[in-house]
Amino acid sequence: MKMNPWTLSVLLLLAGPLGADPDWHVEYPDSFCVVEGSTATIPCSFTHPLVDVKKGGAILQVKRVAWCPDPLLCHRSTTNVYDSGNVRADSRFLYLGDLIGNCALKINKTVKQDAKRYYFRFETKADGYTGREGVTVTVTNGEDVKVRSSITDHVVKEGGQVTLTCTSACSFNQLDVHWYRNGHALSETGPALHLSGLTNEDTGDYTCSLDSSRKKSSAPWSLLVVEDEGPLGAGPDWHVEYPDSFCVVEGSTATIPCSFTHPLVDVKKGGAILQVKRVAWCPDPLLCHQSTTNVYDSGNVRADSRFLYLGDLIGNCALKINKTVKQDAKRYYFRFETKADGYTGREGVTVTVTNGEDVKVRSSITDNVVKEGGQVTLTCTSACSFHQLDVHWYRNGYALSETGPALHLSGMTNEDTGYYTCSLDSSGQKTSAPWSLLVVNDEGTGPQGVGHLYCLPFRP
């Protein structure tokens, strides 16, 4: 088969005049993810023989290196993003390598147009070689930058340690990540922030950013460093108990279960009786002792009225959230205070908010027909577990007196026949599809006494 001269020249250029020898090689990742506006470094290495056997053993020295988006034009300098022989190349692309074996490339302030496949080329005095595979750079918007922790708790004892990791759609192993505590830049950089030998000075809100301008910054992650015993933590009697996570359907009303315990007397105060004077729910454990950001505070009547405290000052700290919105999706903490001290539950409870579009009625029986005197349990289900949701029930569009995730019907009569729906709020906006129930007599006939031909009421 004959090959035209242009195709042949392209293949030779890609292979390189020295490409037949495996010692001529460029190694870089096949793909690389960069967050728009950030700075990232593409790892790269290259190898070549130390001597040129074709030139009588002359020592080979690299004279020129270049990065280019087109392997066919990499030997030129007009389209290269970096070229050691061209000072007019794109200044945002910085060569961090050398002429020996490192060919790392740094991209500053990435833009969407940087999303291309790039190739590295190096040349000796006589020949040149372009890495065949290239590396595909993708650019994401970085809106999902988050701080993740090596611990589940936000409260750490003095002397402890924690590792915070900056994450996003991109792998950050080569990104220039900046860290901040309470808005002030830290000297540490990189995707992971290791904190050890913690003291009270490490307490604060931590954020990470993918560039020094902080345009691509994460939401704050709160850390509270306490004394080895804690403010009231000298014994296990000081404790708050709530679920680690809690699911709420948007627009519904839900109650977060919570309980707390404390010693009856203060051994440090000569056995004085301990009485709780203040309780609060807050999204930030560092500020829970204040009242400005708390969703509920017994000492602040201006707290969010949608959050209703159902607990007391003895041991119940349940919190009711009315008409939930997406912005309620946070981690909340409960704090209680005596006259002298205060204690914040360390674990907190993460509230997630779903749209509730998959509300359904499920039955304890497979058939929709039940004999008189029988029983059935209907359960309202969704992506959330409804054990704490205010569920309303309806038959043929009329509200029933029963509420809660499960509706128990027993000793049934013909009056229980109808279409049943459940709703997650009294407005009926988050309502299930109807589930039909037909109650028949022992002979298997319906309300009109007709065997096996049953008529349900008109569906609302």
Picking from 107, 116, 95, 90, the residue whose alpha carbon sits closest to that of residue 176 is 107
What CA–CA distances, in Å, run from 338 to 50, 270, 288, 344, 460? 77, 15, 14, 12, 55
Terminal alpha carbon distance of the chain: 77
Environment class of residue 59 by beta-carbon count within 10 Å: exposed (0-12), middle (13-18) or buried (19+)?
exposed
Tokens 């690299």 sit at which residue?
62
Rounded to two decimals, what is the model's pTM?
A: 0.43
pLDDT averaged over 10-residue windows placed end to end, the chain, 460 residues: 42 42 83 82 89 68 91 80 80 91 91 92 88 88 79 79 84 71 88 88 86 74 68 61 83 86 68 81 81 82 83 91 88 86 83 78 88 91 64 90 88 93 74 90 57 49
Residue 176, φ and ψ in degrees, nearest 5: -85, 95
Residues 6+ apart with CB under 8 A from 343: 230, 231, 232, 233, 238, 240, 262, 335, 336, 337
Contact 335, 231 (CB under 8 A): no
**DSSP H or E run through 188:** strand 184-189
pLDDT for 156: 81
d(CA 382, CA 82): 55
Strand locations in 40-183, DSSP E?
A: 40-42, 45-47, 51-52, 58-59, 64-68, 82-83, 93-95, 105-107, 117-123, 128-130, 135-140, 146-149, 155-157, 162-167, 178-181
Picking from 263, 284, 267, 288, the residue whose alpha carbon sits closest to that of residue 275 is 263
Residue 26, φ and ψ in degrees, nearest 5: -125, 130
pLDDT for 65: 93
Environment class of residue 174 by beta-carbon count within 10 Å: exposed (0-12), middle (13-18) or buried (19+)?
buried
d(CA 374, CA 414): 11
Contact 147, 41 (CB under 8 A): no
CA angle 435, 441, 442 (to 5 degrees): 120
What CA–CA distances, in Å, run from 30 to 117, 119, 133, 431? 9, 11, 7, 49
d(CA 326, CA 249): 9
8-state DSSP, 217: B
8-state DSSP, 279: E
Structure token pair of residue 49: 């023989």
Side-chain half-sphere exposure of 383, counting CA atoms within 13 A: 12
8-state DSSP, 227: -
Residue 48, φ and ψ in degrees, nearest 5: -160, 160
Structure token pair of residue 239: 């404790």
Tell me which amino acid residue 150 is: S
Instruction: Map 217-247 to HEC letters.
Output: ECCCEEEEEECCCCCCCCCCCCEEECCCEEE
Structure token pair of residue 380: 């309202």
Q: Which domains does the chain have, with CATH numbers?
A: 15-140 (2.60.40.10), 146-226 (2.60.40.10), 239-354 (2.60.40.10), 360-440 (2.60.40.10)
